[in-house]
Amino acid sequence: MQKQTAGRDQLGEFAPKFAQLNDDVLFGEVWSREDKLSLRDRSLITVVALMSKGILDDSLKSHLINAKKNGISKEEMAEIVTHAAFYAGWPNAWAVFRMAKEVYEDEQ
């Protein structure tokens, strides 16, 4: 797994402790526990969690990109979002589909 630096890059001077926790703990320790859950599974869980909370901003798009990199196909993403729509909200699904179409546009 590639070392995460987004926290330090975006918030390092403003919120150094948060940036360190983001990069070193969340991504450095939690996401790296591939013996417990694969990156693919963590991506799936993260996309659905963000969708269900209505977090439909650039952070979701970043996780959609990661999901694609971690092996979730366009067809699988469509099925994941369709399934989650019944639990996380139909409008949230529409928002995720708009972003996912952009992320997966090269597969259409």
Q: Percent helix, strand and coil across the chain, each rounded to 5?
A: 75, 0, 25
User: In the chain, pLDDT over 90 holds for what percent of residues?
Assistant: 83
Q: What is the CATH number of the domain that holds 65?
A: 1.20.1290.10
* Encoded amino acid at 92, one letter: N
Contact call for residues 5 and 27 (beta carbons, < 8 A): no
pLDDT at 5: 81
pLDDT in tens, 49-75: 999 999 999 999 999 999 999 999 999
Using 50, 70 and 90 to split pLDDT, how confident is the model at 107? confident
pLDDT at 2: 65
Q: Summarize the confidence of residues 91-108 as an average pLDDT.
A: 94
Task: Note whether 63 and 103 are same-domain residues.
Answer: yes
Task: Note whether 23 and 52 are same-domain residues.
Answer: no
